[in-house]
Amino acid sequence: MNRHRVQRRLAGLLTYLGLALALAFFLGPFFWIVTTSLKGNEDFFAYPPVWIPSEPSLTHYGRLFTHSSGARYFTNSLVISSLSMFAALVVSLPTAYSIARWRFGGGFLSTLLLVLRMLPAIALIIPVYLMYKLLGLTNTYLGLVALYTVVYIPFAVWLLIGFLRDFPVEIEEAALIDGCSRLRALVRVVIPIIAPGLAVVALFAFIATWNEFLFAIVLTGIETKTMMVLVTSFTTGGTDQFYGEASASVVLGVLPAFAVAFFLQRYLVKGLALGGTKG
């Protein structure tokens, strides 16, 4: 009996140890980037390496916003990601609702949506660039928002179909019997209940748009460059190495996604549970 108890405790200890090592493996690089963004120039080449800066400073963040147009690129990313997320939700929700409720096409449409999402961006970049150049949409907010919306819609629709098919249709039918139109039932009944699922879709859309690099570097100009383009500019701009500014740009590049995930975490857990429930 005691031997089994010892084995269980040992297994639990090993499990927690493995989780701690995995956490350190994934968070260690980010911790290093954060501390590097706060270091002075003398700490960059210190030996042995300095994990905690001797005199933490926000100088690199100030330089990033004043000399590297960081404020403009950060605002560009925030505006483009927010608009793309909102547009993707507005378009994908009625599309997914129609497919889930009337079930036309069987499983073919769901499979087609996944196939469309599998197309690599590199295969689309040249025709998209030529089309945008012809239409005058390069270096514009509209061009990027429209492109990101179209690219993300298949995945958003596929996710929402699962949430809507798990929704109890009897509740919606009761609203229709009480005199609600189909649109009003969707807005007043369906959307409040599947709000966690919408939060999941919104979070994925925001993060995917914020982290997108290939289309951003090809289709943007000075006025519309995003944070991801700024991050890479510190490693491809020549022989000068701006370690502090590069680290600060990485930190600012991931903070918005963390913030959105933090504020939506309550809905995120519910949404993932809702999508994983099959009636």
From its phi and psi, is residue 103 left (phi > 0), alpha (psi between -120 and 50) or beta? left
- Which pTM does this prediction carry? 0.79
Assigned CATH class of 63-275 = mainly alpha
Whether residue 225 contacts residue 138, with contact meaning beta carbons closer than 8 Å, is answered with no
Domain-by-domain residue ranges, the chain?
A: 2-44, 63-275
pLDDT in the model for residue 79: 93
Mean pLDDT to the nearest integer, 198-220: 89
pLDDT in the model for residue 182: 83
Summarised one tens digit per residue, pLDDT across range 175-196 is 888 888 888 888 888 888 888 8
> Which amino acid does the sequence have at 254?
V
Whether residue 257 contacts residue 207, with contact meaning beta carbons closer than 8 Å, is answered with yes
Query: CB burial class (10 A; 0-12, 13-18, 19+) of residue 252?
Result: buried
DSSP string of 102-121?
Answer: H-TTTTHHHHHHHHHHTS-H
Beta strand spans in the chain (E): none
Kindly report the three-state secondary structure assignment for every residue of 183-200.
Answer: HHHHHHHHHHHCHHHHHH
Summarised one tens digit per residue, pLDDT across range 143-160 is 999 999 988 888 888 888
Indicate the pLDDT class of residue 279, thresholds 50, 70 and 90: very low
Mean pLDDT to the nearest integer, 54-67: 80
pLDDT in the model for residue 48: 78
Mean pLDDT to the nearest integer, 81-106: 85
Locate 263 and state its tokens: 């504020």
Q: What is the DSSP letter of 178?
A: T
SS3 percent helix, strand, coil of the chain, rounded to 5, is: 80, 0, 20
In angstroms, what CA-CA distances link 67 with 85, 217, 246? Answer: 30, 20, 13
Mean pLDDT to the nearest integer, 8-12: 81
